[in-house]
Structure 1
């Protein structure tokens, strides 16, 4: 799919972030089995820790409060276990990564880590830059939407003024002797009516975009005025 709307630096970041078959590391059967057993062991340790907890029977008027306490203690236990597990995993990963970075790796798996470490750093950089570009585009789009709504409101006011001026005295229509001029006037009025209907549609769409964009429009005076505009003009 073409992405012609992106700038060259952003296209370069996408190229870096694209999948590369060379990033796939093939583990030996023994290594894959060790990893699988390690994950199973971690799951069993968590299940064992939960089963070893003393059961607390809920009774009386404070059953809901006791249940809330038990749920909180369970969440705290799981959080502690998760942090400890991640710390152990980090320690286990540090040594082979250092060996790969400093070219002291002795096994094929450790040597394969060097490219993956470089790949991780490139992806982190690409993600950070693309996230910044995405945020900038969203901000620009939001500003353009606000400007579009403001211009539409100005057009609406001009149309209202024009209608006020033309409806005050319509006797001048009867005094028109030029058929071409009368035809042009009818064409302009029909076009004005069409444009007004189109403006109403665009206003509704733009308001829906602002509401659905996730912006905190309720705290912004301009956006709130645009979204809550209930004018019948």
Structure 2
């Protein structure tokens, strides 16, 4: 199923509907008057000044004589703690004030008791917020499900590759002593597949030997006492052709 966002086959129909609801809508834009915009700007400036004031009040008065190194470390630790406390206090107060200021107009809008245009405009925005929260929750769940499926497929792919390598190895072990059987094969497609498997095996073996050599060199160059570690010793001294 496709929407205006493009084809998204991994999403269910209900999730696609929520995605459409979450799209930008010009009706959700609230136009503020010049006076309202000025009020918001002044409120932001006031909050910034209050934060600066709280931070300045948390700074201790300078001492007349320079402190020693130990005293300076202690004063720095105290100043840092006071700074964090002042910032945390300001943040809590700011959030509490915002919550109080937001609650009354939202309640009026939800219960259809709004008297001003901005309050009446909040109802649609509140509904939009709830839809976005629901869409986010469902899309996050779908994303997690896709990640789980991808992880399972990756594990399955690794298992299949391992089985293929083992089968090719068994085939080569069975046929390396006697290749006369190839002359009896008349199926060109089967011969082509066999040649491709042998070529793939040689390529994979070459890559494996390269990686093994690099790992062995890294262990030796690291300075580790690999001689006393059975696994590291096997990695460094392994000269098998398997």
Q: TM (normalized to structure 1)?
A: 0.75
State how 1:47-196 maps to structure 2 within 5 Å: 47-55=52-60, 59-61=68-70, 63-64=72-73, 66-167=75-176, 169-170=177-178, 172-173=179-180, 178=184, 181=186, 187-196=192-201
Asked if the contact 2:114–2:120 (Cα under 8 Å) also holds between the matched residues in 1, the reply is yes
Ranges in structure 2 where 5+ consecutive residues have no aligned partner: 209-239
- Equivalent in the alignment of 1:221: none
Distance 1:133 1:157 in 2: 36
1:4 to 2, 5, 8: 8
Deviates more, 1:181-190 or 1:23-32: 181-190
Distance 2:121 2:43 in 1: 21
Cα deviations by residue, 1:18-60 (Å, 9 ceiling, x for unpaired): 0111000001110110011001000000101111224366641
Asked if the contact 1:96–1:105 (Cα under 8 Å) also holds between the matched residues in 2, the reply is yes
Distance 1:91 1:97 in 2: 10
**CA RMSD, 1 decimal:** 2.9
Distance 2:111 2:241 in 1: 72
Distance 1:147 1:190 in 2: 26
- Equivalent in the alignment of 2:37: 32
Relative distance call for 1:91 and 1:147 in structure 2 (3 A) is same
Asked if the contact 1:10–1:130 (Cα under 8 Å) also holds between the matched residues in 2, the reply is yes
Residue 67 of structure 1 and its aligned partner are, at CA, apart by 2.8
| Larger-gyration structure (1/2) | 2
How many residue pairs are counted as aligned between the two chains? 200
The higher relative CO (CA closer than 8 Å, separation ≥ 6) is in 1
Relative distance call for 1:26 and 1:156 in structure 2 (3 A) is same
Residue 69 of structure 1 and its aligned partner are, at CA, apart by 4.0
Asked if the contact 1:100–1:111 (Cα under 8 Å) also holds between the matched residues in 2, the reply is yes
Asked if the contact 2:28–2:124 (Cα under 8 Å) also holds between the matched residues in 1, the reply is yes
Question: 3-state DSSP class of the match of 2:7?
Answer: coil
Relative distance call for 1:75 and 1:12 in structure 2 (3 A) is same
